[in-house]
Chains A and B, each alone.
Chain A
Amino acid sequence: MLLHVLKYKFICLIRDKAIIFWAFMFPVILAVLFHIVLININPQEEFMKVEFSVVDNDGYRQDIRFKNYVNSIIESYENNSQSIYNISIRSLEESEQLLEDNKIDGYVKIEDELKLIVKRSGTEQSLIKALLDEYIQINSTMETILSNNPSALENIDLLTNNFIEDVPLSESDNTDFSIMIYYSLIAMSCLYASFWGLRIITLSQADLSSIGARMGLIPQKKLHILAIDFFVSWIIQLGIITFQLIFMSTVLNVELLKPIGLVFLTTAVGSAMAISLGSFIGAVIKKDEDTQVTIINSVIGIGYVITVSQINEILESKLPFLACINPIKLVNDGLLSLYYFDNYAILARNVVLMSSLTFFFSAITYLTVRRVKYASI
């Protein structure tokens, strides 16, 4: 009996083209598209260098802090191939000439205040300005702290090259971005398991489908069949995610997060949450299947957009509860915490949250479908 139901459930699920497409192919296709886009962006940024000079005048020589700052950047450029700022110290005439000949993107001059001279405005010029703004901001922070408490910064010099290395400005930013995209796709893929859950409920309820009516007549406990259905869907979903991870790491060269066991834990709990969410929607929202599918698609679509866009930050500050039950974000942040942080606090919190939601959805589903006779079919 058990094997019989397992076997046919498996066959049914893997032949369900619509669900396979959404759960399996759709995230893969998106990942490939992102990959193509990212490949086209990356080479440009890798070769981007910003060159500018600092005018060697009295103003510069007397401003020790700025001098330190500039030196630390020069140093970092010499030691680190990833640094994009190439700074030289030159006389005013030289700087003007180089700018005229387009050899540099601009030059910086200190007379009463910091001045940036450029010939045109563009990405390079903005990057120089960004660097200077950062200096000005840190400088004024230090001024404030020092004026309040002159001894506070004795041992700390904010303007060393540590600062530059800790906050790399270009390449690694990009890596973050692509890792984020790929793993948000994995999170989305988990959530597509909702459709498995919806299907399971629809096919087991006499008031939702004709097959449900037939299943209502068999001499077996309905909950046994449901439990088997859930289990098979979950296993298939884990298979799909495993394939997607392998595909991303081998074909698209996406860095696999470590430890891989925790990646599996997160996606496994996330998939269970998704299946129970789908069954919850199927059991509680007594509408036609199209409506239910639309609801699930909206949850996934909106959840995804919120997760990868800045809406999330707004939501987190205004409606923290909503932000923390966005199912895609739960999976997504659990995964990304493996990338950003060494401790597993966020992951643990999200796994607990997802498990609780799974329990909540399953319990409501159980209470709803436990009933065996219907008021209306």
Chain B
Amino acid sequence: MVVKVENLLKKYKNVTAVNNLSLEIKEGEIFGILGPNGSGKTTTINCILSLLKYESGNIELFGEKMKPEAYEIKRKIGAVMQEVAVFDELTVYENIDYFCGLYIKNINEKKDLVEEAMEFVKIKDYRKRYPKELSGGLLRRLNIACGISHKPKLIIFDEPTVGVDPQSRNYILEGIQKLNSSGATIIYTSHYMEEVEQICTRIGIVDKGSIIALGSKEELKNKLEFNKRLIIENSKVSEEEIAEIQKIPFVISAKYDNGKIFISLSKSDINVLTILEYLKDRNIEFGSIQSEVPTLNDVFLKFTGKKLRD
């Protein structure tokens, strides 16, 4: 077990930011913490890193209790925090070199690692630039390079793609997968469900400081009753007709709203046709038809009754 958090409770004065949160992360995972803003992701990370005091709970990293003076554990951790943390007075190269040098003594080894980190986030062309001269995306990439140059075994990314252009976002997501395949265990927090679905092997969905669902994305979606949703536009149906649609096999629910019919189905392959035939039989007109597979948004909706802001 690389990370083990048991019953973490953290309060800021009277705000409970993390409420009895427990999780375990195994070596080689990309563990996603997905939750809306203010759900306690950053607070959890800061507790895991021993930056924050917490009311109660137990945190172990690499099988040992994490403490501020646990320097051997800290050596194995890299963190890329939500806020960019680089020196304005140092160039791209100097920033990475400075932070790397706080972990690595050997000068040649350090030099190679810094080059590798720059290569990794593709920032070599900007090595002599100062942070002020970088775009938001490049700055985030520099921030990442500063956090990972010492080749940590556990890397924590706290919302690394906020305010980043699509190109940088892709570099970042691909980069994280590469780090993972070269052996690092990853914790990745985000409020973007697509990102989490794209790269994470296991996901914990958090709300109000607690994990409300945990598992791989398939496992999470299996917790939903439906696995397909049809949206039929520009249509007009009566209450009775809706009730009849609900009786069609594998239809879980149907509702009519503002010219659109929403139908949730428990099996995705066969029954679209059945429904269309029913509409045809009744001479019900309809426009375009969209079909959607469930997302983590639906999982979030199911467990909290509200939408994950996206």
Contacts and interface: CB of A to CB of B under 8 A. Distances in A.
Contact of B74 (A4, A13, A206, A218): A218
B85 A214 contact: yes
Contact of A219 (B79, B85, B103): B103
Nearest to B69: A372
B243 interface: no
Interface string B72-108: 1011010101011111011000100111011101000
A210 B74 contact: no
B51 interface: yes
B87 A12 contact: yes
A211 B86 contact: yes
Contacts of B49: 216-217
A93 B98 CA distance: 89
- Could you say which of A13, A15, A376 has the most chain B C-beta atoms within 10 Å of its C-beta? A376
Given A8-B94, A11-B94, A216 B105 contact: no
B75 A219 contact: yes
B86 A217 contact: no
A220 B103 CA distance: 8
Given A8-B94, A11-B90, A11-B94, A373 B103 contact: no
A29 B94 CA distance: 32
Interface in A56-73: none
A375 interface: yes
B12 interface: yes
B19 interface: no
B102 A372 contact: no
- Could you say which of A1, A373, A375 has the most chain B C-beta atoms within 10 Å of its C-beta? A373
B103 A214 contact: no
Contacts of B46: 206, 213, 377
A101 interface: no
A374 interface: yes
Given A12-B90, A373-B50, A213 B102 contact: no
B129 to A, nearest CB: 14
B163 to A, nearest CB: 14
A206 B53 CA distance: 12
Interface of A: 1, 4-5, 8, 11-13, 15-16, 206, 209-211, 213-214, 216-220, 372-377
Interface of B: 12, 46, 49-53, 68-69, 71-72, 74-75, 77, 79, 81, 83-87, 89-90, 94, 97-99, 101-103, 105, 146-147
Given A214-B85, A373-B53, 10 more contacts: A8-B90, A8-B94, A210-B81, A211-B85, A218-B99, A219-B75, A372-B50, A373-B68, A376-B52, A377-B46
22 contacts: A4-B98, A4-B102, A8-B90, A8-B97, A12-B87, A12-B90, A13-B89, A213-B46, A213-B81, A214-B81, A217-B77, A218-B99, A218-B102, A218-B103, A219-B72, A219-B74, A219-B102, A372-B50, A373-B51, A373-B53, A374-B51, A375-B53
